[in-house]
Amino acid sequence: MEELTTKINEFEFLMNEKGYFFKVKKDPPLKKDKLKSLQNKLNLNEELISFYGKFNGLFITWFSDSVVLCLGRIYIPELETLEKYITKTEKTDLKHYSEYLKKGYIPFDVDNINKYITFIKTNAKKDYELIRVDANFSETKLSITIEKYLFLAISVGGLYHWQNYISKEVLKDYEKYSYDGFYNLIVTKLKSNILDEFYFKKDLAVDTVFVNPIFNIPNEAQINIRKENSGCSNVEIRRAEIGLKNKLPKDLIFYFYNRNGLEISWKYQSYHSNFELVQIEKIFGGNHHSRELLWNNNYFKFVEADKSFKNKFSKYYPLIIEESGNTVFTIENNTIQLFFIKTDLEPVMINLTFNSFIEKLYECCGISGWQNFFTGQCSTENPLIKDLIQGIQICFPNININDFIKNQDLVK
């Protein structure tokens, strides 16, 4: 543990150099007699006491929202808090993990916000294992020492889900979920040589280019709302996938890493746009910030539809909510299929890939009713469609209208 202070100092230097928001809290150790008393009372092993002999707990948090949101957190509880966790479990924020504490598991790294707890599991011989437990009470053996855990955690500032990459064996438990950008985040947000300390899987170290598209709202338009959120973190992606028990398509993930929800409302002459692209946690039902078991929403639940619509709407997820009709989607074979639900409440397929849909959305700034062009069920002779074509040409003179009406099987 002698190099622990050096490791923390290196992390603080890097955070200051990068200009990120961060906080490091490390309290001085307790007096030796108090430390010894708690060691005996709580049955703590020598390696853990070696840490507490340097610091009475450790808290690190940091984030960067440049290009893509990135967060980290470490919380090694103070010995007084650890004592409460073990002896007064039901009165603490770990009461849901009381079965583990009754079995003698010692909470070591506590992330109760996201419901990931790293426990120390000991046996009669004073040997131990580090076990990571998630919100579903699924256990993963980390096969790592306390000292090594601390060094790795501090090197990345507790970057969310760093534990997944400590070894080939541990990574296997998480390959059922989408890659969360760990390698790229280390290289772009921290320092590339940190990767030397982790298990490196080359085919996951792909270059991900994050490009934030821009809404070119007409200059003369009256803008009522223009709210574009920053991207989500890998935490939201992982929560959704745990709730769904399936991977999310890559195109959807990359978009939400750029923008996690937006709201646009503008008006120009008789034309307008007024829509909300839903945040990923609302799409999949994760309104409670840390409960992955609730991350399994659908369109029926989202709009609180009448029960008679349950069979029709339960397979869809909400994407865009607006007065002219809602855009929803399904996920099948890792592919997104989009649908448009108007006032007749009949879902109509949108003949666009997810990326093409987003491209067209930004191109026409979500002008009301634009999805109709890509359903194959509208006519260029329809007065409403004629007016929409005219509206696009008036509001966005640089748009090639043929990109909206050609090859879309419009009814003549």
Show pLDDT as tens, one digit a residue, over the chain (412 residues): 678 999 999 999 999 999 999 999 999 999 999 999 999 998 898 999 999 999 999 999 999 988 778 889 999 999 999 999 999 999 998 999 999 999 999 999 999 877 889 999 987 666 899 999 987 788 999 999 999 999 999 999 999 889 999 999 998 888 878 877 888 889 889 999 999 999 987 666 655 555 667 888 998 999 999 999 888 888 888 888 877 888 899 889 889 988 899 999 999 999 999 999 999 989 987 655 455 556 778 898 888 888 889 899 999 999 999 998 999 999 998 899 999 999 889 999 999 999 999 999 999 999 999 999 999 877 777 888 899 999 999 999 999 988 888 644 444 3
- Residue 343 has a CB neighbour count (10 Å cut-off) of 8
Radius of gyration of the chain (CA): 26
Q: 228: which residues sit within 8 A by CB, 6+ positions away?
A: 215, 259, 262
Candidates 95, 101, 136; CA nearest to 116 is 136
Judging by beta carbons within 10 Å of its beta carbon (0-12, 13-18, 19+), is residue 346 exposed, middle or buried? exposed
Cα–Cα distances (Å) from 391 to 325, 360, 387, 399, in that order, read: 18, 15, 6, 11
CA distance 103 to 116: 18
- Residue 254 has a CB neighbour count (10 Å cut-off) of 18
Taken in order of first residue, the domains within the chain and their CATH numbers are: 4-204 (3.40.1580.10), 222-405 (3.40.1580.10)
**pTM (predicted TM-score):** 0.78
